[in-house]
Amino acid sequence: MSAQSANRRLTAPDIAARKGDAEAAPIVALTAYTAPMARLVDQVADVILVGDSLGMVVYGYDSTLPVTVDMMILHAQAVMRASTRALVVVDLPFAAYEAGPVQAFEAAARIMKETGCGAVKLEGGAHMAETVRFITQRGIPVMGHTGLTPQAIATLGSFRAQGRERAQWPQMIADAQAIAEAGAFSVVVEAVAEPLAVEITKAVHVPVIGIGASAQCDGQILVLDDMLGLTPRTPKFVRRYAEIGAQAERALADYAQEVRERRFPSPQQTYPERKGDQKA
């Protein structure tokens, strides 16, 4: 990390410039939805994504489809308040941009104005290129998202990996290229066959950030709660770097037991009576 980037928040052009920079380390990206987590992630990440995955992670929905623009704004505001260095990217949720470029711009502009974030992200391949071009030409940086696109779960049928058959590769490579050529500063590629991810990374002129893709991508992103072990089930592509969920369960059980046995609070957690000039 350069001294310059340490003293200011990273921008979309900063991330875009990492493509082809032999001296630059791969881009580190993670999701965050709350101020406490954003404060932690900001210490290590280049990009914080306020993902619509919050619908599943925070709200307990079965998919990302119920997420609204209002929900995204509230969480993005919290993340922005708690971070100072990472580029904050906010997902455009389902039904906020698919109707056309004007709808997409209005949603993106509202999110940018009300949160102060540095970019938005939208899902889709070549059919979304016109929308990406429309938004970026009007001053809003866009991160693309191809491969497995969770907002299309109703048509995909399941959260399954994409591009496992080589016959699918040309279209998937073309999708990523179309989004990049339309002006996206980077493209997330999710849950695709590893050699396909390598080919996409070579074919696209902006950074390709993988999730369930390849170590050869220009960067990586994971859902924070997945990699910390806070979610009960995780996709194959997630490495659980901690098991905080299990630790929390033990802590909660210890607390409950001590309360029931009247061992909490102890004298160390209570206030004695003040007598005379004695201070509490």
Residue 130 belongs to domain with CATH number = 3.20.20.60
Catalytic residues: 190
Whole-number Å distance between alpha carbons of 4 and 15: 14
> What is the C-alpha to C-alpha distance for residues 211 and 220, in angstroms, rounded to an integer?
6
Mean pLDDT of 195-204: 98
Q: What is the pLDDT of residues 16-45, one digit of tens each?
A: 999 999 899 999 999 999 999 999 999 999
Binding residue per annotation — 2? no
Mean pLDDT of 211-218: 97
Q: How far apart are CA 197 and CA 173, in angstroms?
A: 9
User: Whole-prediction pTM value?
Assistant: 0.93
Going by C-alpha positions, the residue among 183, 117, 105 that lies closest to residue 144 is 183
Q: Tell me, yes or no, whether 226 lies in a domain.
A: yes
Q: What is the pLDDT of residues 159-168, one digit of tens each?
A: 678 888 999 9
**For residue 6, pLDDT beyond 70:** no
Q: Is 249 annotated as a binding residue?
A: no
Q: How far is CA 16 from CA 26, 57, 132, 183, 184, in A?
A: 12, 29, 16, 11, 9
Grade residue 4 by pLDDT with cuts at 50, 70 and 90: very low
pLDDT on residue 276? 76
Q: In this structure, is residue 256 part of a structural domain?
A: no
In a domain, 183, yes or no: yes
- In terms of pLDDT, which residue wins out, 265 or 22? 265
pLDDT of residue 153: 77
Say if residue 173's pLDDT is above 60: yes
91 annotated to a ligand binding site = yes
For residue range 61-105, what is the model confidence (pLDDT) as tens digits? 999 999 999 999 999 999 999 999 999 999 999 999 999 999 999
Q: What is the mean pLDDT of residues 213-218?
A: 97
Domain contains 272? no
Amino acid identity for residue 74 in this structure: L
Domain that holds residue 203: 12-242
Q: Answer yes or no: is 151 within a domain.
A: yes
Residue 52 lies in a domain: yes
Task: Specify the higher pLDDT residue, 233 or 253.
Answer: 253
Q: Is the dihedral of CA 70, 107, 45, 241 positive or negative?
A: positive
| pLDDT-based confidence at residue 278 (cuts at 50, 70, 90) | low
pLDDT, tens only, 223-243: 999 999 999 888 899 999 999
Evaluate whether 8 touches 42 at the Cβ level (below 8 Å). Answer: no
Q: What is the pLDDT of residue 1?
A: 46
**By 3-state DSSP, what share of the chain in percent is helix, strand and coil, each rounded to 5?**
40, 15, 45
Residue 41 falls within a domain, yes or no? yes
Share of the chain above pLDDT 90, in %: 88
d(CA 256, CA 95): 43
Is 52 among the annotated ligand-binding positions?
yes
Domain count, the chain: 1
Half-sphere exposure of 74 (CA within 13 A, CB side): 8
Q: What are the C-alpha distances in Å from 235 to residues 32, 85, 222, 232, 243? A: 18, 29, 10, 11, 15
| Residue 192: DSSP 8-state | B
Alpha helices in 146-193 (DSSP H): 153-156, 169-181
* Structure-token pair, residue 46: 């280049």
Q: Would you say 123 is a known binding-site residue?
A: yes
Residue 167 lies in a domain: yes
Confidence (pLDDT) at 93: 98
**Mean pLDDT over each residue of the chain, to the nearest integer:** 94
User: Can you tell me the mean pLDDT for 126-149?
Assistant: 97
Q: Is pLDDT at 5 greater than 70 in this prediction?
A: no
